[in-house]
Amino acid sequence: MTGVQTCALPILLFDLANAVGGFVVGTGDLSEAAMGWMTYGGDHLSQYHVNAGIPKTLVRALVEHLAAASGAPELEAVLADIVATPISPELLPPTADGAAPSQHSEASVGPYELVDFFLYHLVRLGETPGRVTYLGELAFGGAHDRATILRWMRVFVRRFTANQFKRSAMPNAPIVDIRFQKCQPRPGR
């Protein structure tokens, strides 16, 4: 039933946006797009994806920073609760007894710190899987052993490749490049 809800939601959002002269803003991030962690024709539909250029670990860090810098205890508590909630595609809220959703994204796609690491090193920099494994062992200092890194890298490559069609059908999004580049004036200016 969740897939039906996911596909019905954009219809409602587009209708509402049209009624008020607005547009639908997508909230999926770069990590979700890379892994295809969205329903085709559902929650990946919008008129602009504001977060699709940044990885999930950066989204988390930004929310944590906003919470700490807000100066508003109530806002800080809400944002801290959002960061502490396990990432899940389920649209249902926790049950009355406070139980979290039964499906967690990281159980299917791997820890997002690894997903984002692979995204940067394999896709962005084009490094070899062997080098990425070596760098992962260094970067995560024992938090993820070699077998874990290799397991989730295989999942990443399979999902990244299989879900290209979803990324091809996504609306525009900002391109966020973490490299600092010297600005070059355009010719004739």
- One digit per residue, the tens of pLDDT, for the chain of length 189 reads 466 777 788 889 999 999 999 999 988 889 999 998 887 887 778 899 888 889 999 989 999 999 999 999 999 999 998 888 877 765 566 666 766 556 677 878 889 999 999 999 999 999 999 999 999 999 998 899 999 999 999 999 999 999 999 889 888 888 887 654 454 455 554
Distance CA 60, CA 63 (A): 5
Asked whether 14 and 39 are in contact (CB, 8 A), the reply is: no
| pLDDT at res. 189 | 45
CB atoms within 10 A of CB 139: 15
| pLDDT at res. 118 | 96
| pLDDT at res. 144 | 94
CB atoms within 10 A of CB 101: 18
| pLDDT at res. 89 | 63
**At a CB cut-off of 8 Å and minimum separation 6, what does 157 contact?**
118, 122, 129
| pLDDT at res. 1 | 47
| pLDDT at res. 138 | 95
| pLDDT at res. 101 | 58
